[in-house]
Amino acid sequence: MNSVDKAFETQMANIQKKTGKSLEELFAVIRKSGLSKHGEIREMVKNGFNLGFGDANTLAHVYLKSLEPTPNSATDEESRINEIYSSARASLRPLHEEVMKAIHQLGDFEIAPKKTYLSLRRKKQFAMVGPGTKGRLEVGLNMKGLSPTERLLELPPGGMCQYKVYLSETSEVDDELVGWIKTAYDSSG
């Protein structure tokens, strides 16, 4: 932890100690006030809790920051998925959901929405899921050492994924596909 982070943590702990209230309790008071502007919140907590300008300013900033959606929040993710599966690709959404349901069974991972697909990562990307060609869903896989099959297509070196699988219906989300995804998942971190 760097010195700035340490100083911030110390300041937040001191604010809670001075006011005798937890951060959640302070946020509840601010919410109840109905104030939404930084300067108004700062003045209210400064006067209401006898805080100095710096502490009141920091508390107002942290409160307002807590109201902002995080960059990878579920709403952002859902919005991106809605964009990806809009219009002609909407029919692929149930297939996408079935694939994601199977992948979530493997454990924790990060979803990084891109313009036309979702990148799935642990320490590194292990898969990508998105609309492919000819009305099919494409699952790209990062793994090595498997022999390609009629279904598991090997890609040229240097691409984002080493293999891909095209899906047309939910019945294709089977043990074979999940096994390949698990291999990629396990090798990514």
159-187 pLDDT, tens digit each = 889 999 999 999 999 999 999 999 999 99
What's residue 5's pLDDT?
A: 78
pLDDT band for position 70 (cuts 50, 70, 90): low
83-116 pLDDT, tens digit each = 999 888 999 999 999 999 999 999 999 998 888 9
Domain segments of the chain as ranges: 3-67, 74-186
22-67 pLDDT, tens digit each = 988 999 999 999 998 999 999 999 999 999 999 999 999 999 988 8
Question: Is the model's pLDDT at 72 over the cut of 90?
Answer: no
What CA–CA distance (Å, rounded) separates 60 from 135?
A: 50
What's residue 127's pLDDT?
A: 96
Question: Is the model's pLDDT at 73 over the cut of 70?
Answer: no
- The continuous run of DSSP H or E covering 110 comes out as strand 110-113
Specify whether the backbone of 113 is left (phi greater than 0), alpha (psi in -120 to 50) or beta: beta
pTM of the model: 0.60
146-164 pLDDT, tens digit each = 999 999 999 998 888 999 9
Of 135, 73, 120, 130, give the one whose Cα is nearest residue 96. 130
Phi, psi of 21, rounded to the nearest 5 degrees? -130, 145
Q: Which of 1-5, 43-47, 112-116, 122-126 has the lowest mean pLDDT?
A: 1-5
For CA atoms 123, 125, 129, 130, give the dihedral sign: positive
Query: Which amino acid is it at 65?
Result: K
SS3 label, residue 139: strand
